[in-house]
A and B are shown apart, each in its own frame.
Chain A
Amino acid sequence: MHELSIAQSLIELVSDHAAREGALRVRAVHLRLGELSGFRRALYFCFDAVSRGTSCEGAELAIEDVPLTVHCARCDAVKTPRARYNFRCPTCGMPTPKVVTGREMQITAIELDFGEPRPTEAPEAGAGEVLPSRVDCPVDCPAD
């Protein structure tokens, strides 16, 4: 299934970043998924299967959903179509092929686990514990 390929790409990219940062494992992956990406439901199933044995195994997924919006040339405005694949302006009916938002399939951020906590660090998460989203990074991250 192509969702497996997409999950594989995701895990490869995230694992590469984690390895570059010297992290032992990935605690959470933050994604931005547009309504048209069609990936949301399959993701949970594929991510588990494909992440097994990688530094992403067990990572939490945090998804930011992006709704579909299109630009209507006649109204000169950004609109929300009435249905997912009916590319017409809900106001004037003009065809609206120009998608403004909704096609996103992006990794926005990752939370990393560097293993041994230093004395000044917050306690390491136990298995299954969900960490707050703002985690002080114990090493100097390159500014992105």
Chain B
Amino acid sequence: MLRIEQDILSKNDAYAAGNRARLADRGILALNLVSSPGAGKTTLLTATVIRLRGRTPVAVIEGDQETANDAERIRETGAPAVQINTGRGCHLDAHMVGHALDQLDLTAGGVLFIENVGNLVCPAAFDLGERHKVAILSVTEGEDKPIKYPDMFAASGLMVLNKVDLLPYVDFDVDACVEYARRVNPDIEVLRLSARTGEGMDAWIAWIAAAQGG
């Protein structure tokens, strides 16, 4: 019997470590945005890019099964964006992200947002080399998402509750949602905002700035 003692995802982990080193070398903060399809990742990103203009350099890696729609939306705000199409694939992996990094002119000291494929299950297992996963949950989804999809929320440093402008029209218990998130991840931070109206966006920008400094 040949003893091996190797992590099954050691190849992905090696690529992720390579990405992490590359980004650290340039002082770039990388955030891996994850959510169900339709929670508002791209809208949040476009609003964020606009607010960060002139304050810090921004680059975006977009992941979708098909189309370059999201990368186009980002480019319209003036930030460079690379689109990865995974075809049948359900998540980005570190190897794909490494190739995308090759295509970006990464300015030192900036922020790299990686918008993962809309999927609350699969991306949890794959380290891309990011500093934090940010889980975006919209108030039009169920407040018990964190306990139904615990892997993802356990792996995330921050939960962003999006579309809070719609709270008067939906039965979403914010306190219960936060309690569920803290149950699966006692250390998770929580922000509430609306990418559309701008409510809560200042705190999100401040969180990014603090993460850059840290």
Residues of A bordering B, CB below 8 Å: 1-2, 5-6, 9-10, 12-13, 17, 21, 30-31, 36, 38-39, 84-88, 95-97, 105-112, 133-135, 137, 141, 144
What are 16 A-B pairs at a CB distance below 8 A? Answer: A1-B122, A6-B9, A9-B11, A10-B8, A36-B151, A85-B154, A86-B184, A87-B184, A97-B186, A105-B9, A106-B7, A109-B1, A109-B2, A109-B3, A135-B1, A141-B2
8 Å CB contact of A86 from B4, B125, B183: B183
Q: Is B150 an interface residue (CB 8 A)?
A: yes
Distance in Å: Cβ of B12 to nearest Cβ of chain A:
7
Q: Which bucket holds chain B's interface residue count?
A: 20 to 34
Q: Are A13 and B10 in contact, with the CB atoms below 8 A?
A: yes
Question: Would B11 and A12 count as touching, CB distance under 8 A?
Answer: yes
B147 at the interface (CB under 8 A from A): yes
Q: Give the contacting residue for B2; candidates A88, A111, A133; CB below 8 A.
A: A111
Interface pair A110/B4, CB less than 8 Å apart: yes
Contact indicator B1/A133 (Cβ below 8 Å): yes
B121 located at the interface, meaning its Cβ lies under 8 Å from any Cβ of chain A in the complex: yes
CB-CB nearest 8 A-B residue pairs: A95-B186, A2-B122, A85-B150, A97-B186, A144-B3, A85-B184, A105-B8, A109-B3
Nearest B residue to A141 via CB reads B2
Whether A5 and B2, one on each chain, are in contact in the complex, defined by CB atoms closer than 8 angstroms, is no
A111 to B182, CA, bound (A): 43
Q: Does the CB pair A95–B182 fall under 8 Å? A: yes
Q: Dominant SS at the A interface?
A: mixed
Instruction: Give A12 Cβ to nearest chain B Cβ, in Å.
Output: 7
Given known pairs A13-B10, A85-B184, A86-B183, the reply for A144 and B151 (CB within 8 Å) is no
A14 — nearest CB in chain B belongs to which residue? B4
Flag B1-26 by CB within 8 Å of A: 1 or 0 each: 11111111111100000000000000
B185 on the A face (CB < 8 A): yes
Question: Contacts A2-B121, A97-B185 hold; do A144 and B126 have CB atoms under 8 A apart?
Answer: no
Closest A residue to B91 by beta carbon equals A2
Q: A2-B126, A6-B125, A137-B1 are in contact. Are A105 and B7 (CB under 8 A)?
A: yes
Set of chain B residues within 8 Å of A2, measured between Cβ atoms: 90-91, 121-123, 125-126
Task: Report B-chain residues with C-beta under 8 Å of the C-beta of A12.
Answer: 11
CA distance A6 to B186 in the complex (A): 28
Q: Given known contacts A17-B4, A85-B147, what 16 new A-B pairs fall within 8 Å (CB)? A: A1-B122, A5-B93, A6-B8, A9-B8, A9-B9, A13-B4, A13-B6, A38-B151, A39-B8, A87-B154, A87-B183, A95-B186, A105-B9, A107-B7, A108-B4, A109-B2
A38 to B147, CA, bound (A): 15
When distances are taken between beta carbons in the complex, the residues of chain B under 8 Å from A84 are: 150
- Cβ-defined contact, A144 with B2, below 8 A: yes
Given A2-B90, A10-B8, A85-B154, do A21 and B2 touch, yes or no (CB 8 Å)?
A: yes
